[in-house]
Amino acid sequence: MRICLFPGTFDPITLGHVDIIDRSIPLFDKVVVGVGLNSTKTPMFSAEQRLQWIQEIYKNQPKVEGAVYEGLTIEYCKLIGARFILRGIRYVSDFEYEKTIADANRTLDKSIETIFLTGEPKYTSVASTIVRDIIRNGGNASPFLPAEVYQSLKK
């Protein structure tokens, strides 16, 4: 079974993330969207809220599941039997950063491969950091967010 982990903070999950997840579905038997708890980041939304959004967006897609994890991504891959790590690339600078992480992960475990998917051009400007800023300042973040996320923020 080809299990893939798509790790990230997903704070919040954006249309850019959804684009990468949707395009990865035909490639794997199971895609685990892993909300990583990062001690160096203070998220705007709780891990529970981020997981709930993932579950709501993919409630009709049995190949996608959400999870929350802590610690090394490579260790979580081993725990869930994932042999692939999925990463989205928007810009060349993303690739340089992501490649260093992929190289480190390969050093830790050669049996787990990192797969890069480039984002659709229309989503390249969609970064969670920018979306959080829009939300924090009362702007309309709907062009960047899945309907499920936007609707829950309006409440």
The CATH-assigned architecture of domain 3-154 is 3-Layer(aba) Sandwich (3.40)
pLDDT tens by residue, 59-95: 999 999 999 999 999 999 999 999 999 999 988 888 9
How far apart, in whole angstroms, are the C-alpha atoms of residue 88 and residue 79?
A: 22
Residue 90 appears among annotated catalytic residues: yes
Taking the CA atoms of residue 12, residue 17, residue 22 and residue 24 in that order, the dihedral angle to the nearest 10 degrees is -130
pTM, entire model? 0.94
* Active-site residue, from 17, 24, 50, 87: 17
Q: What's the pLDDT at 49? A: 97
Average pLDDT over residues 9-26: 96
Average pLDDT over residues 48-59: 97
Q: What's the pLDDT at 38? A: 81
Residue 17 appears among annotated catalytic residues: yes
Residue with tokens 């480190």: 104
How far apart, in whole angstroms, are the C-alpha atoms of residue 49 and residue 100?
A: 30
Residue 23, pLDDT > 80, answer yes
Q: What's the pLDDT at 128? A: 87
Write down the domain spans for the chain. 3-154
Q: Which of 3-12, 46-55, 119-128 has the lowest mean pLDDT?
A: 119-128
* Active-site residue, from 24, 50, 87, 90: 90
Residue 41 appears among annotated catalytic residues: yes
* Active-site residue, from 24, 50, 87, 128: 128
The pLDDT confidence band at residue 55, using thresholds 50, 70 and 90, is: very high
